[in-house]
């Protein structure tokens, strides 16, 4: 189907269809395509109803037909204008809504979480610093404790090491004194 592959009817083609001026291919497409029919049919129905009514009312058919044709063209033009105006206002409403939602998204979607994240990061940093300080304090305390321990060990070790020395000197003193005594004796 050539009409199907060539896509849906353009706005102009829909208008031509509504006016009854559509080409055979366009007519065939509308007959097949529910989407295009839905787009074109409502006005076509209204127009044909008015047309039928006008034809019924008209006694001078030719003159009325011409008048009707002009009226129909004007109606189509008006309908098209109102449709595009509606589309425009719909578009501008969407644009406003999109802008507002983008703003809201920026504020609540990105700004707030980012601010929260920023605050959390700062808090984490502060906490980390505090932890580091505490760690440093703990390390310092541990170092001090180790130093104290070493100091205690050293102060314990030194007398122990010096004990035999002092004992020796005391002993040698006695030895020498006894030796002296012995030598004297």
Look at residues 30, 32, 2 and name the one whose alpha carbon lies nearest to residue 14: 30
Q: Is 15 in the site for Zn ion (CB under 5 A)?
A: no
User: 175-184 in b/e burial notation, b at 16+ Cβ within 10 A?
Assistant: eeeeeeeeee
Report the residue from 13, 33, 40, 43 that binds Zn ion according to the rule CB under 5 A: 33
Q: What's the rounded Cα separation, in Å, for the pair 21 and 1?
A: 21
Residue with Cβ nearer Zn ion (35 or 153): 35
Min dist CB 39 to Zn ion, Å, is: 8
What's the closest the beta carbon of residue 31 comes to Zn ion, in angstroms? Answer: 10
Stretch that binds Zn ion, among 35-43, 67-75, 89-97, 102-110 (CB under 5 A): 35-43
Torsional class of 125: left (φ above 0), alpha (ψ -120 to 50), beta (otherwise) = alpha
Q: Residues 45-84: x/- map of binding to Zn ion (CB under 5 A)?
A: ----------------------------------------
Question: With contact defined as beta carbons under 8 Å apart, do 18 and 40 qualify?
Answer: yes
Summarize as ranges the residues that interact with Zn ion (CB under 5 A). Answer: 8, 33, 35-36
């Amino acid at each position: 189907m050539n009409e199907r592959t060539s896509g849906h009817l353009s706005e102009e083609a829909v208008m031509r269809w509504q006016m009854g001026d559509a080409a055979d291919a366009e007519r065939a497409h509308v007959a097949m395509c529910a989407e295009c029919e839905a787009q074109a049919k409502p006005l076509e129905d209204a127009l044909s109803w008015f047309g039928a009514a006008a034809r019924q009312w008209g006694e001078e058919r030719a003159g009325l037909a011409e008048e009707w044709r002009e009226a129909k063209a004007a109606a189509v033009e008006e309908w098209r204008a109102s449709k595009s105006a509606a589309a425009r206002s719909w578009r501008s409403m969407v644009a406003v809504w999109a802008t507002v939602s983008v703003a809201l998204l920026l504020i609540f979607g990105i700004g707030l979480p980012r601010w929260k994240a920023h605050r959390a990061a700062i808090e984490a940093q502060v906490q980390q610093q505090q932890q580091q300080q505490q760690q440093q304090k703990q390390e310092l305390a541990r170092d001090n404790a180790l130093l104290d321990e070493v100091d205690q060990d050293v102060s314990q070790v030194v007398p122990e090491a010096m004990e035999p020395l002092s004992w020796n000197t005391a002993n040698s003193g006695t030895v020498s004194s006894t030796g002296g005594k012995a030598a004297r004796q």
